[in-house]
Amino acid sequence: MDFFLGTYYPVFMYLVVVIGFAIAAPLTAHLIAPRKVTPVKQMPYESGMDPIGDARMKFDVKFYLIAILFLVFDVELLFLYPWAATNQTTGSLIPSAFKDVVFWEIQAFLLTVVVAYIYAWRKGVFKWR
């Protein structure tokens, strides 16, 4: 079946209902629940101790590296999805004569990804010490 947006309207209806629920539930609780502000209640929880310093501290740069690597590999996966979804079907967008060529191109593409992966490993991105 070809794409048309008419298939997707229940998604948007559902989105409206879900967001409505997500807002209404805490709002109702806010309206009917008691509220009494005390200084101790306002304190961040730190196992009963008085909190020391700000909580918004620096964090390890490795999280950033992981995020970048995630982008690399997830985008790589996204490139593969359309090909994987259309390759086997009979109504494929890929003409049969090109199937071999496309397949080997995908293998070459995967090879470059593997090179990137090995590079990241050798550079020690996956080391958590």
Partner 1 sequence: MAFTWKPPKGHEEWSTVYLVFNEWNFVITLILIATVMGVVQGTCAYLILAERKISAWAQDRVGPNRVGFDLGFDFFPFTMLKGLGGLGQPIADGIKFLLKEQVIPGGVDVLFYLIAPCLAVSTAFMAICVVPFGATASPPSLLDYRTDAQVRLATKPLASFTDDDRALLDQYRKEGPRGVVWPRSRSEEELLLKADAAHAKATGGKPYPERLKEFNNSVQFVIAPHVDIGVVFVMAIGSLGAYAIVLGGWSSNNKYSLLGSMRSSAQLISYEIPMGMSILGVMFVTGSLNVEQMIEFQHANGWNILFQPVACLLFITSIFAECNRVPFDLPEAEQELVGGYHTEYSGMKFALFFLGEYTHMITTSFLAVALFFGGWLLPGVTAPGWGGWTDAVVKLGVYGGKMLLFVIFYMYIRWTIPRFRFDQLMGLAWKVMMPLALLNLLVVFYVKHFELSSWLMLPLSLTMLIVATLLSLRMPKPPSKTDIGWRGHPVTGRMAMVAK
How near is the Cβ of 19 to partner 1 at its closest, in Å? 6
Q: Which of 85, 101, 108, 115 binds partner 1 (CB under 8 A)?
A: 85
Site string for partner 1, 25-54 (x = CB under 8 A): xx-xxx-xxxxx----xxxxxxx---x--x
CB of 110 or CB of 119, closer to partner 1: 110
The C-alpha angle 12, 14, 16, rounded to 5 degrees, equals 70
Name residues contacting partner 1, limited to 86-105 (CB under 8 A): 86-92, 95-96, 99, 103
Structure tokens at 68: 């970048």
Cα separation, 58 vs 99, in Å, equals 50
Q: Which of 110, 112, 115, 119 binds partner 1 (CB under 8 A)?
A: 110
The C-alpha angle 40, 43, 45, rounded to 5 degrees, equals 110
Long-range contacts of the stretch 36-43 (C-beta < 8 A, 24+):
none
Local structure of 99: helix, strand or coil: helix
Q: Does 115 bind partner 1 (CB under 8 A)?
A: no
Q: Does 111 bind partner 1 (CB under 8 A)?
A: no
CB of 46 or CB of 119, closer to partner 1: 46
